A and B are shown apart, each in its own frame.
Chain A
Amino acid sequence: MTRRAATVTLVLLALACVLPFVLTNYHTFQATLVLVYAIALLGLNILTGYNGQISLGHGAFYAIGAYVAAMLMDQAGMPYWATIPIAGAVCLVAGFLFGLPALRLEGLYLALATFALAVSMPPILKAHFIEKWTGGVQGIVIVKPDPPAFLAAVGIKLNADQWLYFFVLAIALVAFLLGWNLISGRIGRALVAIRDHHTAAEAMGINTALYKSLAFGVSALYTGVAGALGAIAVQFVAPDSFNVFVSLAFLVGIVVGGLASLTGALYGALFIQFVPNIADELSKAAPWAVFGVFLIAFVYLMPTGAAGAVRALTRRRSEGKLSHAKEALP
Chain B
Amino acid sequence: MKRRLLPAAALLVAAVAFPALGQKKYDPGASDTEIKIGNTNPYSGPASAYGAIGKSIAAYFRMVNDRGGVNRRKINFITYDDGYSPPKTVEMARKLVEQDEVLFLFQTLGTPSNTAIQKYMNAKKVPQLFVATGATKWNDPKNFHWTMGWQPNYQTEARIYAKHILQTRPNAKIAVLYQNDDYGKDYLKGFEDGLGPQAAKMIVAKASYEVSEPTVDSQILQLKSSGADTFFNITTPKFAAQAIRAAYDTGWKPVHYLNNVSNSVGSVLKPAGLDKAVGIITSAYVKDPTDKRWANDPAMKTWREFMAKYNPDGDLTDPFNVYGYSVAATLEQVLKQCGDTLTRENVMQQAANLKRFRIDTLLPGITISTSPGDYAPIEAVQLERFNGHEFELFGEVISNEQ
Contacts and interface: CB of A to CB of B under 8 A. Distances in A.
Interface of A: 24-27, 29-30, 33, 123, 126-128, 136-139, 141, 230, 234-236, 238-241, 243, 245, 276-277, 280, 284-285, 287-288
B116 to A, nearest CB: 4
A235 B115 contact: no
B116 A128 contact: no
A284 B119 contact: no
30 contacts: A24-B98, A24-B99, A26-B97, A26-B99, A27-B99, A33-B91, A123-B211, A137-B112, A138-B182, A139-B86, A139-B115, A139-B116, A141-B118, A234-B86, A234-B87, A234-B116, A235-B120, A236-B87, A236-B90, A240-B84, A240-B113, A241-B85, A243-B85, A276-B83, A276-B88, A280-B43, A280-B81, A284-B43, A287-B43, A288-B44
Contacts of B88: 276
Given A138-B115, A239-B112, A245-B45, 19 more contacts: A24-B99, A26-B94, A26-B98, A29-B94, A33-B91, A136-B182, A139-B86, A234-B116, A240-B85, A241-B85, A241-B112, A241-B116, A243-B85, A280-B43, A280-B81, A284-B43, A284-B55, A287-B44, A288-B44
A242 to B, nearest CB: 9
Interface of B: 43-46, 51, 54-55, 79-81, 83-88, 90-91, 94-95, 97-99, 110-113, 115-116, 118-120, 180-183, 210-212, 313
Contacts of B79: 284
Contacts of B81: 276, 280, 284, 287
B87 A230 contact: yes
B146 to A, nearest CB: 15
B79 to A, nearest CB: 7
A154 B234 CA distance: 58
A138 B87 CA distance: 14
Nearest to B86: A241
Nearest to B180: A128
B98 A25 contact: yes
A123 B180 CA distance: 12
Nearest to B88: A276
Contacts of A287: 43-44, 81
Contact of A238 (B43, B46, B112, B211): B112
A280 B80 contact: yes
B119 A141 contact: yes
Contacts of B86: 139, 234, 236, 238, 240-241
Nearest to B41: A284
A274 to B, nearest CB: 11
9 smallest CB-CB distances across A and B, nearest first, come from A26-B98, A236-B116, A280-B81, A238-B112, A234-B87, A240-B112, A241-B86, A287-B44, A26-B94
Contacts of B90: 234-236
B114 to A, nearest CB: 11
A27 B51 CA distance: 26
B181 to A, nearest CB: 5
Given A139-B86, A236-B87, A243-B46, A126 B99 contact: no
Contacts of A245: 45, 83, 85
Contacts of A123: 211-212
Contacts of A30: 91
Nearest to A128: B180
B85 A141 contact: no
A230 B87 CA distance: 9
A238 B91 contact: no
Q: Which of A24, A26, A236 has the most CB of B within 10 A?
A: A236
A236 B43 contact: no
Nearest to B51: A284
Contacts of A27: 99
Contacts of A24: 98-99
Contacts of B84: 240
Contacts of A138: 111-112, 115, 182
Nearest to B135: A138
B115 A128 contact: no
Contacts of A137: 111-112, 181-183
Contacts of B97: 26
A127 B211 CA distance: 9
Contacts of B51: 284
A190 B73 CA distance: 67
B221 to A, nearest CB: 21
B115 A236 contact: yes
Contacts of A127: 210
B97 to A, nearest CB: 8
Contacts of B183: 137
B95 A26 contact: yes
B210 A128 contact: yes
A276 B82 CA distance: 10
A236 B84 CA distance: 14
A295 to B, nearest CB: 14
Contacts of A136: 181-182
A29 B46 CA distance: 26
A26 B91 CA distance: 8
Contact of A126 (B45, B91, B110, B181): B181
A25 B94 CA distance: 9
Nearest to B47: A240
A139 B114 CA distance: 12
A238 B98 contact: no
A284 B212 CA distance: 32
B162 to A, nearest CB: 24
A279 B57 CA distance: 21
A25 B101 CA distance: 13
A144 to B, nearest CB: 8
Nearest to B79: A284
Nearest to B185: A136
A170 to B, nearest CB: 22
Q: Which of B51, B81, B87 has the most CB of A within 10 A?
A: B87
A8 to B, nearest CB: 29
Contacts of A243: 45-46, 85
B154 to A, nearest CB: 13
Contacts of B95: 26
A238 B119 contact: no
Nearest to A140: B115
Contacts of B80: 277, 280
B119 A235 contact: yes
Contacts of A33: 87, 91
A241 B211 contact: no
Contacts of A235: 90, 116, 119-120
